[in-house]
Amino acid sequence: GIDMDFDTAVGSLFQPEGRIDPYPAYDVLRAHAAAFPGMENQWWVTSHALVSRLLRDPSLRVADKSDYDQFWPDWRDNRGVASVVLSMLQTNPPDHSRMRRAAAATFTARRVAAMRDVITAQVHELIDELPAETDFVSSFAYPLPIAVICALLGIPESERHWFRQRAADLTVVLEPISSEEEMSRADKAGRDLEDYFVGLVADRQRSPGDDLTSALVQAAGAEDAVLTGEELLANLVLLLVAGFETTTNLLGTGLQVLLDHPREADRLRSDAERAPAVVEEILRYDSPVQLTSRFTTTPLDLGDGKHLGTGTMLTMLLGSANRDPERYPDPHRFDPDRPNIQPVSFGGGAHYCLGAPLARLEAQVAFPLLLTRLPGLALAGEPVRRDRLVLRGYASLPITTGA
């Protein structure tokens, strides 16, 4: 039942306690309207149908460097911010199409599929090393994605620990509000990562390998200058950070959901073929990315007398869309057998997550192996949620391996 009023629901999304479980608030907002005005010149979008449609609407744009130039002329001084703003994530056509083509041509389905053995070996190694009592986030969910993305980019194993901290420091720039201290850590992380990638790029220019960095360097050096040096660095940083905490959160959330649904865990344990459906339902049930934003470039008519002016910001609540009862009956039930699970957790349209196949593969390999190798795996304490609004997941998840 709905026992929260509309203003309380909106307010709760801006408070750490409200973010622990935003789903009751989403229900209230979605019941209120598929789209409604929030702060000045900003609208919220809550329904699956409208979020999916607007993500694919070519008349909408993402905030890009021209916007940052206007409201924060010194943004380039914060290298954490700069690396994200200069990447494809915050770039519009025609530059976006060019960057995306260069990255997609190198980050291919074949390259991802070829990672299956690396991922499997890494999962086994992490399971072998798990202490009997441990925090699943720090001993599994963090190290797996970083090992995989480092292997993909050709970053040596000895550098992984160093990367992990920098990538974590940098992701605060994806949140709408961060403290000054967080911003200065993000700046430092951005500088360190840029310096590192300058060296790596120079090395791969001299002696190319078969890693993604070498492929991107070659694309960037092509005659039609597919990527500028600055763009190459920004997109390398993006590949590292975009695929890191998001996948960590998918793994942490997914394990918690499976432990909370032992029958589903048993079924997956005895039939690894269920993994793709289980992972899609985990993505729907508790999306690692809860929202993204777009801006109108022309007046936009949403129907029902809702006319939006040019320059209106649309906040798309992905986590709400995924729990829309019009699209997913009984939406708060975890059920991998639902037909046609297509969550908006990886976005949609031109910016659809480039790393989706890799993130899915990591989770599809990890969960069946964790369950079969550790049949006694269980929670061993209170899980602690992160209180972030955009990147949703656990800060810690105490487990016992049952060994």
Interacting residues with ligand HEM (CB under 6 A):
88-89, 100, 149, 238-239, 242-243, 246-247, 250, 288-289, 292, 345-347, 351, 353-355, 358-359
Question: Token pair for residue 357?
Answer: 């196949």
> 227: Cβ–Cβ under 8 A, 6 or more apart, which residues?
98, 99, 102, 216, 219, 220, 235
Of 184 and 297, nearer to ligand HEM (C-beta) is: 297
302 vs 314, beta carbon nearer ligand HEM:
314
- Strand-pairing partners, residue 165, are none
Q: Are the C-beta atoms of residues 395 and 385 closer than 8 Å to each other?
A: yes
**What residues are paired with 36 via a beta bridge?**
44
In the complex, least distance from residue 185 CB atom to ligand HEM, rounded to whole angstroms: 22
Q: How far is the CB of 346 from ligand HEM (least distance, A)?
A: 5
Task: Work out how close the CB of 375 gets to ligand HEM at its nearest, in angstroms, rounded to a whole number.
Answer: 26
- Closest approach of ligand HEM to the CB of residue 207, in Å: 24
The three-state DSSP-derived secondary structure of 218-229 is: HHHCCCCCCCCH
Nearer of residues 28 and 363 to ligand HEM, judged by Cβ: 363
CB of 143 or CB of 288, closer to ligand HEM: 288
CB of 1 to ligand HEM, least distance (A): 30
Positive/negative CA dihedral, 357, 363, 364, 369 = positive
Nearest to 148 by CA among 171, 120, 128, 127: 120
Query: How many separate helices (H) and strands (E) can be counted in the chain?
Result: 20, 12
CB of residue 351 to ligand HEM, shortest distance in Å: 4
User: Which tokens belong to 133?
Assistant: 């009592």
> Are the beta carbons of 284 and 333 closer than 8 angstroms?
no
Q: Closer to ligand HEM at the Cβ: 178 or 287?
A: 287
Q: How far is the CB of 216 from ligand HEM (least distance, A)?
A: 12
Nearer to ligand HEM, 25 or 115 (CB): 115
CA-CA-CA-CA torsion sign (202, 352, 33, 37): positive
Of residues 122, 374, 386, the one with CA closest to residue 246:
386
Q: DSSP of 115-135, one letter per residue? A: THHHHHHHHHHHHHH--SEEE
Nearest-angstrom CA–CA distance, 273 and 178 = 41
Minimum separation from the CB atom of position 367 to ligand HEM (A) = 13
Name the minimum Å distance from CB 236 to ligand HEM.
10
Distance between CA atoms of residues 361 and 109, nearest Å: 11
Do the Cβ atoms of 328 and 321 come closer than 8 Å? no
Please identify, using beta-carbon distances, which residue of 320 and 401 lies nearer to ligand HEM.
320
| Token couple for 373 | 């190798």
* Nearer to ligand HEM among residue 243 and residue 368 (C-beta): 243
Residue 28 or 353 having the CB closest to ligand HEM? 353
Nearer to ligand HEM, 28 or 241 (CB): 241
How far apart, in whole angstroms, are the C-alpha atoms of residue 91 and residue 95?
Answer: 7
Cis ω for the linkage preceding 331 (within 30 of 0): no
The distance of closest approach from Cβ of residue 145 to ligand HEM in the complex, given in angstroms and rounded to an integer, is: 7
Q: Is the dihedral of CA 398, 401, 402, 403 positive or negative?
A: negative
Shortest separation between residue 108's beta carbon and ligand HEM, angstroms: 13
310's CB contacts (< 8 A; 6+ apart) are: 296, 297, 298, 299
Nearest residue to ligand HEM, scored by beta-carbon proximity: 355
Closest to ligand HEM by CB, 2 vs 105, is 105
